[in-house]
Structure formats: C-alpha cells, structure tokens
Structure 1
Amino acid sequence: MQNKLDFLAVPFNRPPVTGNELSYIMNAIASNKLSGDGPFAKRCESWLEQKTNTKKALLTPSCTHALEMAALLINIKPGDEVIMPSYTFVSTANAFVLRGAKIVFVDIRPDTMNIDETKIEAAITPRTKAIVPVHYAGVGCEMDTIMEIASRHNLYVIEDAAQGVMSEYKGKSLGSIGHLAAFSFHETKNYTAGGEGGALLINDSKFIERAEILREKGTNRSNFFRGMVDKYTWVDIGSSMLPSEIQASYLFAQLESADKINLDRLERWNTYYKELKAYQEERVIQLPVIPESCQHNAHMFYLKFSDIQTRSQFISYMKQNDILTVFHYLPLHSTKAGQSHSRFHGEDNYTTSESEKLVRLPLYFNMSDEEFNKVLHHLELFLTQLVEAK
C-alpha cells in the first residue's frame, strides 16, 4: 500500500500568506488611493527604516528598479567600472550596464558563495566607480573589509541585499552598511509585495532628495506634497519607480508578521542542517557556512555535491518523486551578454566550479510537516546511496 506522502507534490517555493493581505488590499481599494506613496507604502517604508536603521527607505516596483536608481544616484557614466561577483542575478549587472558601465567580476568565496573581499582591491582601476557586494542566501559579505577598501579608494558601495531582509552582519542590518542598498520583495523572497516589489535603502543623506525626484519621473512632486514648493515640475531625469498601493498593502501584511515568518523559516533551515550534517561528515555533500559575524534569515537552504553530474542526478531523482529542487545562477561572465559587457579580473577558481555543485531545497513559510518530511525522506535515500557507493 502506498504512503500518502507518495501522492504529495512539493514545490520549490510557495509565496507567503499571513492572513491580512486581502483585508489590507480591500482597505487600499476603499481609500481611492491606488497609485504610489499611499498610506500603506509609508507604513512599509517606516517599518524598513526602523528595522534596518537606515536613513531613508523608498519602495520600488522591484529590486531591479532599486538597483537602477542606485546607478543613477551615483552618476554612472559610459566608461565607468563596477566591481561585483559573477555569481548573481542579471539585474545586479544590468542596472549599471544600462548607464554604460563596464562590469568587472571577481571570484567568490567557496564557503559563503559571496564575493571574495581579498580579490577586490586588485581589480580597482582609475575608472572604478563602485563595489556591489551581493549577500548570497541572506548571509552577509565581509562588509568591514569592503567598506575600508571603498573608503581608501573613494568608491561607492551598493549592497545587493535582495535576499537579505532581516539578516545582519556584526549586529548591523544588511542594507544599512553601504552608501545605498536594494531589497527584493519578489514572490520567491521571504516577504513579498504580491509577486514583485523592492526597496531602495539610502544610508548617505545626500542621496535622499534626488532619489525621490528620480522615482517621481524626474519631478519634485514629493516636495510639493510636503508643502516645500507651491507647484511641482520637471527638474531632473527620472522614471516611474513607485509601486502601487495594492503592492504596498500586501507587503505591509507580510512585514507585520516578519518575525513570525523569520522564525518559521529558521526552524526548517536548522532542521535541514541537523538532519544532513552526518552526510557532510561522510563527505558526500557540503552544507551552507554561516560565519560567526553573520545572522542569516533562512532565505534558502542549499547543499553542494561533488560535481555537476551528481547534482543533475539528484534534481532528476527528486523530480521523479514530485519534489522540485533547483540549481541557481549561471555565472554572468559565461553568458552572451556578460562577454559583451564585462570582464573577469583574476582567476575563476570557484565561481564556475562551485555554482555547478549547488542545489536549493524547498523552503517556504508554513511548509507543512508532510511536505518537509517527504523532502527529508527522499534526500536521505539519495544521500545514503552516495555513502554506500563510496
């Protein structure tokens, strides 16, 4: 007789729902204020400012928009260079390529999959304008070292903290350390704005006024609503970078329950780690590394196999059992666009090889015990076979 778990399909991700989303959306509709910067947006921004201790948070339609705003704010121009890891999502690079910059990739660390801070300084040239550390899996990069390098070379630091909401580095919230930072509220993230969404965090006050202008289509509309000018007009370049009040109302329901969501995810993450630790000791997998300086947010649980062939076999095996596990980024320097708009400084010792080993396991808010147990069951069956084959 088949176990009931045999019929259970486990997705890789399920967008979080806390219970207040629909009522808040209805409140937003009833307010007759559906465009950007409504009451829910202001509440979200206030929450972000208080939680992260950033000087200003501005909601955006996506993390991509936030990164594009950052590139505009630091006046990226054709010929400028921006240093970042190749192991990241395309938006990290695109935001600066759109302004004419050349991307300079450096290698990652094999332990955290973050940019190798010891490789950055050698990649700096007179054309370098900024460093963009990416906090992979919500685990902070070595920000003290990165900020010190940036200070000595008069460079901007823009944190790609898309995965880092509620994570910390040495007691500081990710996103609150660099000059600027970007959060994501995509449906695959710990907190979502109903599918898409993002935020720009501003830690250098000189950027605040212009940031408001840029996302209001280049107008000083924000100052008008504060009564600082008697009419608003076109004063700078800009675009439409405000999320709707529908997005903000959905997001606020999530942020209200941020601690609950965080604890739920951490519990699953810690159980994964505990149950799989023996297989790391058998050297058939590697588990995530969390430095002592970091408090992570359980954004994802990944493991690494010895090679791409074993990873592919694992993904196929899990899919046959109705469990979706997925690999992650293809290194950007290996892509068609990457070859046109970037260069890799130094040796690619880990970026490609480590990316080919990594696979992500299902992890989401309110994951049922049945779903979780099915994943663990088939994980252990596959890994036991690897141990026995050694």
Structure 2
Amino acid sequence: MALQAPLTMLGPHFTALPPLSLYIHIPWCVRKCPYCDFNSHERPDGSTGVPEREYIDALMSDLEVQLPEFWGRTIHTVFIGGGTPSLFSAQAIADLLAGVRARTRLSPEAEITLEANPGTFEMEKFAGFREAGVTRLSIGIQSFNDAHLHALGRIHNGTEARRAIEIGLATIGNVNLDLMFALPASRTGGEAQTMVECEIDVRAALAFGTPHLSFYQLTLEPNTVFAKKPPPLPDHDLAADMQLRVEQLLSEAGYEHYETSAHARPGRRCQHNLNYWGFGDYVAIGAGAHGKLTTPGGPPGSGQQAKIVRTERVKQPRDYMQKALSADPASCVFERREVTRGEVGFEFMLNALRLTEGFPVAWFSERAGYPVSLVSRALDEAEREGLLVRTHEVVRPTERGQRFLNRMLEKFLT
C-alpha cells in the first residue's frame, strides 16, 4: 500500500503498513497462579462456568468500533490468550472466530493459536476447537514435576500434563509447550529445582516431539504473590547454567533458538509472536488487552499526521463488558497514547532485539517510521560493548547481548 509523503520530518513517515495480527484476551482461569502478572481472574463467584455469550458480544462490539482504524487490511494471525481460553466451550470459540471472520479480512491461511491449561483438556472439546478453526495450541505445562507444579500453584499434575499433550497432538497437531526453569521450593518443604530436575523436564518435553517449545526463567514480577512473599529459588549462577543447558539440549534435538525464550523445528516458528517481535501491528480486544496500530496519515494539507498508537482496555471483566456493550463501546479503552519520537527507538528494540538472528535494518524506517540514524548513538555504544553486531543490512545481538538484553535495551531509553 503506497502512502503519502511526510508533512514534516518531526513526525514518523511510513512507506507501507506493517503486517497485522489480532489478539483476543479471555481473562478467566480456574485459579490465579502466584507468579502470574497477566490480567487473569478466577471464575466469578467460584462458579464452574464463565459468561461466554455476554463476553463474546462484548468482544465483537469492541472489534466493530475499531474497524475504521484498520479497514481493508488483512489479518494474518490470531492469538487467543488469557487467562485460560480453553475454559470456553468449543461452540463459544467457534462463535468467536465466526464473528471475527464476518467483520474482518481474515486470511484463509491465518495461524490461529489458542492457549490452554492441562487441567481443562477433553478430547471431544479440543477436536471442537480444531473444527472451529484453531490451527495451533499453546499448552502451559511449566513442569512435569508434581512438587514444582504444586509450588507454582498449578491446578494440574505431571500425568495430566502428559495427557494434555497427547490430546493436543491427536486433535490439532501443531502444539507449543510453555515450560519454566529455576523453579521454587514449595512453602511446605522440599528444595528448589536442581539441574538434574531441569534436564528431566527438558527431556520429557522433547520426548513428545512438538514443533515448538518455549522455556522461560521464572521471574518474580511486581504485584504478584511471589513478589510479596518470595519463595526459595535456585541462585543466579545455577539459573544461568540451567538456561545454557536448556538451549544446548534443544539445539542438539534440532530446534532453532530463534527468540530469547522460543525454540522451533525448521519452518515451525510462531508467526503471531514473530509479528510482535518484528514491531508489527496488532488489533487487541478483551479485558486488559493491549493493541498497537500504525496510522499512515492523510494527504498533504489534510492535517492528518502519521502515528503509532498504543491502546489498553479496562482490566476488570465485568467493567469491560458493561462498557463494550454500552451506547459508547469505545469507553472500554482505558488508555490511548501515541508513541513519541523519543520512545519509538526503545519500543522497537525492546521487541526486535529478542530475535537471535536479528532484524533487517530496513525494518526500523519501515515500521518505526524514522531513519535508523535516530538510534545510531545507542547502536554504536552497544556494538562497542560487544552486545550486538551490524552490517548495512542486519542488526543482530551477540551471545553476550542475548545474556545481557536489559543492559543493551537501556541504551535506547532516550
């Protein structure tokens, strides 16, 4: 899509719009995990169900009010996250995706991911998700060790985790496993995760041969139970050794380490997350959902400037539904802000430098809207410290840069 020339060099200028994705947030879960800082809420009043119909109606109202901002653009990926989206029935997910297809230009080849908790797996239900159009599952395993699962507050055990993977592979096939390392000791006794236990988890995951694996170090995020009452964790050196060992074992098994925490078999990388890391655009609907959209601006003299806009919806599910279904559905937006010239370098690098193979230099001007000279000083400093390497075509973090990613990113905070 060819766009107009910039009105002023002070603002961004885009020669083409970036790829577009859709994120849908389903906020409910069976139980809130003590390490979780996502916008998730236990099911209302301890019930066994969630207000599926009302929430889907709110999602569609939220989507419709945003249509003018991305009208005519193709959505290439959909990610249904949470919370625990697999709490929804197969019919509810079918209705949700049918509503998206009726209102947007969703690519027939779109990657459609659903997050799932092993405690919610039923063969018939997940076959229904496949029939609804889900093409990829992301299963929150975290560990196969019952003691560590208990310490993490998970509702499933190792046997249920294995059964969930088997059902996921049998029904949908394209499966990602989320796992953690550097796990805590239980408050009721036991020890923090050892290197041997970490390796056992990795080998258990590899035994299933899923096309994608994500391994995260457990971190104590603000405003979580673990942050207020930290559990005993492996020390820093052991955690770093665990990360290296995880990466080594996955590499030996044929997985490509293509992002800080993501590993995939050749050709099986997560397209939705790649769009995030490539500073693409994403429409977001649902309680607490965060979105990013690029606006090209109008023709010369129109006064319509090009811009990148970030949005966040209200977090409480009941408040979100009330506002999205009111006479003013746009009121479900809690915050709307334009990314400034001073912020865009950091925001771009926060995503793109997670890619182990780096990013094309041209992406910065194409997707941030400014010449790469805007961040040349920070790039120079990071290169001098051995945190990244670059050519005229590519910027890539070194192994040192991957280990000290936050230190590198601080250089772009201007």
Q: What TM-score do the two structures reach when normalised by structure 1?
A: 0.25
Bigger relative contact order (CA 8 A; separation at least 6): 1
Greater strand content: 2
Q: What TM-score do the two structures reach when normalised by structure 2?
A: 0.24
